[in-house]
Structure 1
Amino acid sequence: MGSPATLACCTALVLVLLSSASKDGQDMGQHEVTFDIDEIMQEMIQPGRIVLQKQSELPHPDPKRFLGPRVLTPRGGRPSFRPRSPGGIPWMEYPVEFPLGRPTSDNIHAICINGDHRPRYPDSYFPTSGYGKLKRMASSVNKLENLFSSCCGSNHTWGTEVTLCCAFKAWGFAIHSYCEEDSSIKDLQSECCKQRGSDRLNCFHNEATNPNYTATQELPVPQIPSTEDFDFSPLDCSWTITSKYVVRGARGYSIHIKPPEKDFNFPPGRPSADNIESLCRDQKLRPLYKVNCLPNSGYELIARQAKTINRVEKGFKQCCKKKQGVLDCADQKWREELNRFCNKNGKQVDFECCLDNVEDRKYTCLKTLSPDPYYNLTSTAKELSLHNICDTHKIIKKKFPVGFPLNGFVKECCPLSEEEEKALCFVQELDSVSRLCSPGKAYPPSLRHCCSIDSHEQLECISKILVNAITKATKASSEKKKKRCPLF
């Protein structure tokens, strides 16, 4: 590429020639004169060789060759974010779809469903050196798309309103992060970053190349992981999305995503011949929920889900006591309560499966969406192993004594945080108990059977005694369980 001085000289020559052609128009007839940008850019390596051609002599140009849709701004103005370089036009060679537009109720659906059909920019996209500003733009897009993915991933629990709030705050967070980085580097700062508050956000949105978040990639693109700290809680969404929003200072800007508990299994699995046994057997192990622990705003959908789980479990309890027709009864209770969940004051609840008016499809959707369709996650999570002694040792000591001390298990093993360390500790404590079976020692009556078998089977025998006591203690505690908060 030629230097800026050369480019200016060539431009001046073009203007002079055009002016001359205009003045002589009455003598020779007016011709539309233009020039081939591609040829000029190539020929500028040899100064002075600019060839003017008539429109009829030019080949049909490909507009995407120079200025694709990702380069022009929606309003046709000069792009504020296109870095200028004396050596060329890098944004033509390595276009970046930056900035992204403001999330709104009109585009939040497209943000979520088209997420993997919008561009990402891996390190291999750019040369190893140079292009610093473009790389910062690309990195900002990658990070924000990653945050959008996190927001959209919880949509079936939150609903559209909270998902939109999450995406909006992620967008504001990404803009501020970009501007902070942009201002820390000795480079031409973008015009939008020079503004503050809602003016800055509006400026970025106005420069967005794809404000509707339409899909621009034919094939799905891989997500690029981000280490960006982004915390969000629906509690931060008591404000109106359309209100003015001022980005806080970077150091103090903190949002936290707090999903429901891991065993908050909504929607509950549909009763079937494959799960009715575990559905009734483990009902006492499944939690119930209270909702007065939740904040007043931002958690309405979770509260509605928790109430539905409670009502479904109440219906299951009645059905499981029956001697006949247990499955039909449970399925009817499930359908009744899920229909009730989907219908609020005669309107459909903003939950993906509820939007289908055909009942069979709605039930199929709910069944497919259930995180625990066979009702076995709770029993797996509560798998009766030695680890449960940490929660049940007091009940065991009071109601189901094992005949030997448990202090070693509780004091030595329970404080350990690493599961592997805790498991090893339990084995060591079992070994200590098995030493009571050593010849010449008076072992407790409860160990009579274990001490009478081969030594290599004694650990397993003692372990079974403990697990049996843990089983009884767990069932006893679940019978008196209190409702717990779905979040805390």
Structure 2
Amino acid sequence: MGSPAALACCTALVLVLLSSASEEGKAVEQREVTFDIDEFMQEMQLPHSANTWKVQELGLTSRGGRPSFGPRSAGGPPRLEYPVEFPLGQPTFDNIQAICINGDHRPRYPDSYFPVSGYGKLKRMASSVNELEYLLNACCGSNHTWGTEVTLCCASMAWKFAINSYCEEDASIKDRQSECCKPRGSDRLNCFQNEAPNPNYTATQELPVPQIPSTETFDFTPTDCPRKIQSPHVPRGQTNVIQSPKKDFYFPPGRPSADNIESLCRDQKLRPLYKVNCLRNSGYELMSHQAKTINRVEKGFKQCCKKKQGVLECADQKWREELSKFCLNKNGEPVDSECCFDNVEDSRYTCFKNLSPDPYYNLTSAAKELSLHNICDTHKIIKKKFPVGFPLESFVNQCCPLSEEERVLCFAQELIAVSKQCWNSPPSLHNCCSMSSHERPQCISKIIVNAITKATKASSEKKKCPLPYIL
């Protein structure tokens, strides 16, 4: 225990502070203050700057004035001169993109941010922010495989995990418990959400900040997420058809003009051609007719773009010829299309021009970001020319018949299933299997996407089915 003289000094300091508050006529709320006298005496031996925090935690500076403090915290102490952006906001559809894009432009709090002693509550808040940002970064890292919905599911679960972990630690320490930790369930989460200083996850740091590795164990698999649509049951012998056309199926094609002729010719190889024998079910006659027209228009464009002069006039003539043919079926009757009911050619062409979803050939010309979805179109070429070293049948048979929304979760489940077979893995997966369980699915996904890229380039000249996938 410290010397009697030092103890007397401490007692006098507390009495002076209380006396000063009383003389000013202000009501002082009495509360029991406990501390370790040995620890307190040790702190008194340190320089002034090192022991100031002990007095500040009582709400006073060493000179008796109020300290400056930043944004409110969830039932915690004043933030003083070490602000912490706590708590983080709840992930939603509105902010998940910002969560992933601005991840390295939000603050982190290394151990060097705080003094060695004190600030226990703020340090726990900072640690919680560091942990959650690390987990959010992991969720965002698999976005290209999972898609937005599963990434949001992962981020939401990580947020709830971090909030509850913080409250468990907060309750285990003899200190004033955070107000938001007192409720349970959704009330607790709503409280933390309302306290978030940056709920939109905007970037607040000019320069990128490094990640601080997590020490928490957070297990997440896409199967933990709710599935909005149940997988359809396809009886043996029946064909499961996805009704919506592909996103790169744009009809009618844009009319050639001075504004689009450059991209029309330059990026022609990037635009797909279509096969129609895949549309073996009834009800797709119009789509088949549209696909054939696109193919003939593109063939005409190819011939025109090779010319040195009169490219625009040639392309426009080919476009008008093929759209006129489109409006007549085999028996000479008008096709059931809104533009075809107008018998005046100029009006009909204007109608097609205005109806085109891609008038400047920007959408169909843009290079697509390949993902696991493309395996449904390229798996045969991959198996024949670019094998990945492990079977892809489960991906194709289980996931490709589903809707795009269902495929996201299905692909993620199949990646996890493959990653769990590392005990009997082929040589192509040895590098992935040496990684942690959280990193393996992403590693396997990269192998497959690399094969998809090669297969896509090899099949760029071949025709594609207008529909995403038909068994």
| TM-score, length basis structure 1 | 0.40
Highest relative contact order (Cα 8 Å, sep 6+), 1 or 2? 2
